[in-house]
Chains A and B, each alone.
Chain A
Amino acid sequence: MANNTPEEQDDRFYRPSLLWKAFGIGSVIMLVVTIWMVLDDFGREWKAYQTEFFNLKEKKYNEWAKEAVGELDEDELNSLKEQLTAATKEVLGHEKQREKMEGELVDLQTKMKNTLNDFQVAKGEWDVAKYRYEAHYGHEFAASTEVELNAEAGKALAQLNKELANVQRLKDIANQAQVNYESKKAAIAELETARTEAEKALKKYRANIDRLEVNRDDSRFTLTKAARSAPLVDFANPVLRINQIVLNNITDDLNFAQVKKVDRCTTCHLAIDLKGFENEKQPFRTHPRLDVMLGSTSPHPINQIGCTSCHDGRGQSVDFVRAAHTPRNEEQKKEWEKKYHWHEMHHVEEKMLPLQFTEGKCITCHKQTEYVPRAAKVNKSIQTFRYAGCYGCHRVEGWDHLRKPAPSLEKIKGKVTRDWFVKWVRDPKAFNEHTRMPQFFHLSNMQTEKFSAYQEAEIFAITDYIYANSEDYSPNVWLPLGNSERGKELFGQLGCLGCHQIDDYAIEGRSRFGAAPDLSTVGSKVSQKWLQSWLKNPRHYWSETTMPSLRLSDREISDISAYLLSKKNDEFEGLETGKAVAEVQRDVLREYLLRDPKLAPVTDTKVEDELSKLSSHQLSIELGKRAIGRVGCYGCHTIKGFENVAPIGTELSEAGSKLVKKLDFGLIHIEHTRYDWYDKKLEEPRIFDRGIAKEYLDTLRMPWFRFNETERQDLVRFLMGQTSEKRGPGAAKILDAHEAKAEDGMKLIHKYNCQGCHIVQDLYVATPEDAPDYDEDVENLKKYTLEGRILAHYEDPTLGPPSLWGEGKKVITKWVYEFLDKPYPLRGALKVRMPTFQFNNEELNTIVVGWANAGGVEFPFVDQPRPKLTAYELQEAAKLFGRLNCTLCHYAGPQPTTFSDDGGSKGLAPNLWETHKRLHRGWVKDWLHDPQKLMPGTRMPGFWPDGSSPAPDILGGDSDKQIRALTEYLYYIGENKVVRK
């Protein structure tokens, strides 16, 4: 080959040597970039977390293993070790014999295997011979009716049978060889029994430690593990890998397709369902309350509920920012920006909910019940939404069964004066800062002179319309005013505080949003006659009220009315009512008429015609009707003429899924998220009108509730749960027949606010003290905000209304039916009074059936047949009754009607004469056994702690016999009216 350079070899239009250089440099760059790309692609942040977690886990297991070692009993361990040494010595004693036997065992094993092989070979051959015989002769015989075989076939069959005998023989030999082998093996094991047993005992004693140590060693991030996860090798079986949970029953909505939800959060949140990592830093912290969430025995195991079904966010992403983590406040935001280079994921709808709103998602699955058991935060949200009356204007799925949240205005004429009404509509909070009636007029977007005048015109017009459409009402009670001081005392004692609040009995956290109005200024509102008539029988004024009758005597009515009428708001009474300006009213009505579809196509002449037909009073009423329609008073109040008009608010059933771009942020600069918008809207409903030029009738209409930060947070949490996400059976809580009946009962209980006085369900469960947001929770959720509100007024809650926890298991249906219909004092010494709710028959049945079903018992109750008490047992039980001093708290005889205030405990517990009518026998036995278990905090002592008897001389000191006899005795004294003192 010629030794020329390429340039010399050929004519070219380029210089190959330059090209080679370019290619050379290019390929080096390419190589570097490729390596860079691989490394960059390989070095994901989750891998660093997983490596870190290996170390953390190893450390933890090491600590626990050491702890466990420390807990071992040194002596016991040593004695076990000594036993093992002794046993080993003993075994070594016959080592020679064992060796010999093991040699024999090997031979036996070979024999066993070989004979088995022989048998299998023979069996295989015989099977084939059988098949060939059948294939050859079988068809022939099957087709003919001859019974006899021909000679050839007979011979073949005989041969076959002969071979079968051989197979059987080989099988016997193989089996015998196996028996020989097994027995030899057993004999060898026999020699070693002592050692094996000692080893087993030691192992059992150390089992926990061994387990921890195995876990620790598994958690060590060894070189092998690192190698398995190295680039390119990691396709096979890497240790660092993405964990994902695929949910079968929970789907993501990908427009026209529901796709199984896939959550990869556990790729980094590695200890989320492991106990023992509660105090580690994120992402290695255990989820709070594993007994409720994520734990394998909890109602929401992690493999069924995943993560983003509650938290939202992009579950398939394993990158901190792209998973759409959301900081809970500014401080955290700053921290994240520094630490994770966090930034808002724009255009991502399913951003993670800030932690304070997460519990709202409970509602997405728990739509069939009004409240969610044990979810204190979300229950607070639901309660706030309910008491603030949001559902009056905004429809929410599942809330249609509720009555309008505010009183009917059909007889308002008989209740309040026109002046009061005008001032109240103008500014309700001026009358009482704790009222839940929001302010509709003179808000931030209506501050111009023209708009102010228009609003005044509407306020008077609304008043005219309401009064013109109100029926007359004449109170039917008139009593002189009594002692105000005594009235105040009664107000505090009888149970009014279960629903109402008043400044004289203020407790911390007094809210605007309760089950019933704040009465601190009621004296400036209603007349004496009306109030007394209302106290006597609330249904006389309003047939649908949930206010019960407390069976007040005339004297009590006099006293309480004297007290309540003394609660005045002088400032409010001093306010000017003002006067309607007919001209302005005409102007406003003109605005309405110009948009009236009935007049379309509208002309000025047509409008003027309409206006000229009306007198000034008629005009005011007509304007009132339109104004009520505009601001939506009828959403909460029953108003004549608006019976079938849909409320004005936007439906909120899917508020939590509403696209952010569909929310009008106006010109206001806030974060573009759903919860920020809702929060702002709740804080200042008209704010999105700011800077925007609108006509009077186009302005935003939502009234101002003056929600504080906590209340807004509660409401936003509620809204975040109202999503369009589909939750089928298996994911959503679907009530079974019993639960549905129980829930029907609960709905009535909530309607009549029984939970204002009684603990009924477990709506409140305290946040554990070690939970990270404990402080905040305790602040937000004072124990008695959800149930037993009145108990907050008692230093000793056992002096308040009793808990109804487990009532279904406890009381006999017939009794509870009668008691709810006509309550009577059961624990005479208690001052608080069970009111008469005037339930109708259907309501009574629903509550009673609901309770029975909530208690998980058959309805109606079938009581066990009564076992007879022998004369001896009766005598002994009576003795026991005296010994246990039951009558210290209980009456067992006729109960006096008045009780002294001497502080004695007599009468604090139910009269035992009631027992046979009232209680289920099985419950009484359980109750005597352990009262604290059935009703934590009860005054009733447990007399048989740990099954030991307080009276060893009665009935042989047998606890079970004593409890049975005492139970029977309680039924006996009630039925036979035996008085015990």
Chain B
Amino acid sequence: MLVYYDPWLAGVVFPTLIIVGLILIPYIDTNPKGNGYYTFKERRFAITTFLFGFLILWNLLIVYGTFLRGPNWNFFGPYEVWDIHKLEVLRNVNLSEYIFREFGLNGGKLPDNPLIREALGIILTVGYLIGVPILLARKWMKKTYEELGAARFYIMAALLVCMAALPLKMVLRWTINLKYIVAIPEAFFNI
């Protein structure tokens, strides 16, 4: 996590959320189905989410990080020699830099005011954190919403989007070298 997020997020907020989330599971998931017998059909969402969090985000990343990450945190395939001279282009770009520098908005000049500079990032982040749960409730997971009730559902949804934030950021880093979505180093606030 520390590779993709700032220490205050990766080291403080996320671990806290993980612990709080794990504590909350029995209060959110009150569905008695599956007690005493194995079923996937009746618990598709719950089991998928759990396995994604546990197998992919937990175990798989540990395995990759241990066996496939070599010197300088470079990626090495299995059996590839760990050459300490290996170089990869490490050019990570903030979202705001994409907008103003790469796309030449405002004459290539970054605005001085960080709030204006990072406006898009802030909108996207807030949108993701608030909009996605609402969309889930209204559209994609209507049934679940009805079953759980508003409070349970939104807590669940909030935890879910936070969990999804990690793989999302990983994909963004790999695909478009995104460094920060919101970058306000002036206030040590980077997402």
Chain B residue nearest in CB terms to A124: B89
Q: Which of B80-88, B123-131, B137-145 contacts A (4 or more CB under 8 A)?
A: B80-88
Chain B residue nearest in CB terms to A127: B87
A292 contacts chain B at the CB level, 8 A cutoff: no
Q: Is the Cβ of A131 less than 8 Å from the Cβ of B90? A: no
Number of A residues, CB within 8 Å of B:
17
B152 contacts chain A at the CB level, 8 A cutoff: no
For B149, list chain A residues within 8 Å (CB): none
Given A117-B101, A131-B85, A135-B83, verify A110-B91 contact (CB < 8 Å): no
Q: Is the Cβ of A121 less than 8 Å from the Cβ of B91? A: yes
Contact of B101 among A106, A114, A130 (CB under 8 A): A114
B43 contacts chain A at the CB level, 8 A cutoff: no
Q: Which of B71-115 contact A (CB under 8 A)?
A: 83, 85-91, 101, 107-110
Q: Is the Cβ of B109 less than 8 Å from the Cβ of A106? A: yes
CB distance from A112 to the nearest CB of B (A): 11
Complex CA gap A120/B101 in Å reads 14
CB distance from A950 to the nearest CB of B (A): 70
Q: Is the Cβ of B89 less than 8 Å from the Cβ of A110? A: no
A125 contacts chain B at the CB level, 8 A cutoff: yes
Contact mask for chain B residues 148-167; partner A; CB cutoff 8 A; 1 contact, 0 none:
00000000000000000000
Contact mask for chain A residues 108-122; partner B; CB cutoff 8 A; 1 contact, 0 none:
001101100100110
CB distance from A926 to the nearest CB of B (A): 61
Q: Is the Cβ of A110 less than 8 Å from the Cβ of B87? A: no
For A130, list chain B residues within 8 Å (CB): 87
Q: Is the Cβ of B108 less than 8 Å from the Cβ of A110? A: yes
For A131, list chain B residues within 8 Å (CB): 85-87
A214 contacts chain B at the CB level, 8 A cutoff: no
A128 contacts chain B at the CB level, 8 A cutoff: yes
For B108, list chain A residues within 8 Å (CB): 110-111, 114
Chain B residue nearest in CB terms to A106: B109
Q: Is the Cβ of B90 less than 8 Å from the Cβ of A124? A: yes
For A114, list chain B residues within 8 Å (CB): 101, 108
Complex CA gap A114/B101 in Å reads 7
Contact mask for chain A residues 317-342; partner B; CB cutoff 8 A; 1 contact, 0 none:
00000000000000000000000000
Contact mask for chain A residues 6-29; partner B; CB cutoff 8 A; 1 contact, 0 none:
000000000000000000000000
Given A114-B101, A114-B108, A117-B101, verify A128-B88 contact (CB < 8 Å): yes
Main secondary structure, interface of B, reads loop
Chain B residue nearest in CB terms to A121: B91
Complex CA gap A106/B106 in Å reads 12
For B88, list chain A residues within 8 Å (CB): 128
Contact of A110 among B83, B86, B90, B107 (CB under 8 A): B107
Complex CA gap A120/B107 in Å reads 20
Number of B residues, CB within 8 Å of A:
13
Chain B residue nearest in CB terms to A130: B87
CB distance from B149 to the nearest CB of A (A): 19
Given A110-B108, A110-B109, verify A128-B87 contact (CB < 8 Å): yes
Complex CA gap A114/B108 in Å reads 8
Complex CA gap A117/B90 in Å reads 13
For B90, list chain A residues within 8 Å (CB): 124
Chain B residue nearest in CB terms to A125: B89
Tell which of B85, B87, B108, B110 has the most Cβ of chain A within 10 Å.
B87
Chain A residue nearest in CB terms to B85: A131
CB distance from B74 to the nearest CB of A (A): 11
For B91, list chain A residues within 8 Å (CB): 120-121, 124
Complex CA gap A130/B86 in Å reads 10
For B83, list chain A residues within 8 Å (CB): 135
For B89, list chain A residues within 8 Å (CB): 121, 124-125, 128
For B87, list chain A residues within 8 Å (CB): 127-128, 130-131
CB distance from A113 to the nearest CB of B (A): 8
Contact mask for chain A residues 557-601; partner B; CB cutoff 8 A; 1 contact, 0 none:
000000000000000000000000000000000000000000000
Chain A residue nearest in CB terms to B104: A114
For A111, list chain B residues within 8 Å (CB): 108
For A134, list chain B residues within 8 Å (CB): 85
Complex CA gap A127/B109 in Å reads 28
Complex CA gap A113/B91 in Å reads 15
For B109, list chain A residues within 8 Å (CB): 106-107, 110
CB distance from A259 to the nearest CB of B (A): 34
For A128, list chain B residues within 8 Å (CB): 87-89
For B86, list chain A residues within 8 Å (CB): 131, 135
Complex CA gap A114/B87 in Å reads 24
Complex CA gap A125/B86 in Å reads 13
Tell which of B88, B89, B101 has the most Cβ of chain A within 10 Å.
B89
For B107, list chain A residues within 8 Å (CB): 107, 110
For A124, list chain B residues within 8 Å (CB): 89-91
For B110, list chain A residues within 8 Å (CB): 110, 113
CB distance from B97 to the nearest CB of A (A): 8
CB distance from A139 to the nearest CB of B (A): 11
Complex CA gap A134/B91 in Å reads 22
Complex CA gap A541/B109 in Å reads 105
CB distance from A115 to the nearest CB of B (A): 10
CB distance from A105 to the nearest CB of B (A): 12
CB distance from A121 to the nearest CB of B (A): 5
Complex CA gap A111/B109 in Å reads 8
CB distance from A941 to the nearest CB of B (A): 70
Chain A residue nearest in CB terms to B112: A106
Complex CA gap A113/B108 in Å reads 10
Q: Which of A108-162 contact B (CB under 8 A)?
A: 110-111, 113-114, 117, 120-121, 124-125, 127-128, 130-131, 134-135
Q: Which of A893-923 contact B (CB under 8 A)?
A: none
CB distance from B78 to the nearest CB of A (A): 18
Complex CA gap A110/B107 in Å reads 9
Chain A residue nearest in CB terms to B88: A128
CB distance from A133 to the nearest CB of B (A): 11
Chain B residue nearest in CB terms to A114: B108
Complex CA gap A501/B90 in Å reads 91
CB distance from A114 to the nearest CB of B (A): 5
Complex CA gap A131/B74 in Å reads 14
Complex CA gap A125/B91 in Å reads 9
For A117, list chain B residues within 8 Å (CB): 101
Q: Which of B43-93 contact A (CB under 8 A)?
A: 83, 85-91
Tell which of A114, A121, A125 has the most Cβ of chain B within 10 Å.
A114
Complex CA gap A125/B101 in Å reads 19
Complex CA gap A125/B87 in Å reads 9
Complex CA gap A124/B91 in Å reads 8
Complex CA gap A106/B107 in Å reads 11
For B101, list chain A residues within 8 Å (CB): 114, 117
CB distance from A203 to the nearest CB of B (A): 27
Complex CA gap A124/B108 in Å reads 21
Complex CA gap A134/B87 in Å reads 11
Complex CA gap A111/B88 in Å reads 27
Contact mask for chain B residues 32-52; partner A; CB cutoff 8 A; 1 contact, 0 none:
000000000000000000000
For A106, list chain B residues within 8 Å (CB): 109
Chain B residue nearest in CB terms to A138: B85
Complex CA gap A134/B101 in Å reads 33
Complex CA gap A414/B119 in Å reads 112
Complex CA gap A117/B88 in Å reads 17
For A127, list chain B residues within 8 Å (CB): 87
Chain A residue nearest in CB terms to B109: A110
CB distance from A572 to the nearest CB of B (A): 90
Some 24 contacts from A to B, beta carbons below 8 A apart, are A106-B109, A110-B107, A110-B108, A110-B109, A110-B110, A111-B108, A113-B110, A114-B108, A117-B101, A120-B91, A121-B91, A124-B90, A124-B91, A125-B89, A127-B87, A128-B87, A128-B89, A130-B87, A131-B85, A131-B86, A131-B87, A134-B85, A135-B83, A135-B85
Given contacts A106-B109, A124-B89, 10 further A-B contacts (CB under 8 A): A114-B108, A117-B101, A120-B91, A124-B91, A125-B89, A128-B87, A128-B88, A128-B89, A134-B85, A135-B83
Q: Which 4 A-B pairs have the closest CB atoms?
A: A110-B109, A131-B87, A128-B87, A124-B89
Please give the residue numbers on chain A whose beta carbons come within 8 Å of chain B beta carbons, in ascending order.
106-107, 110-111, 113-114, 117, 120-121, 124-125, 127-128, 130-131, 134-135
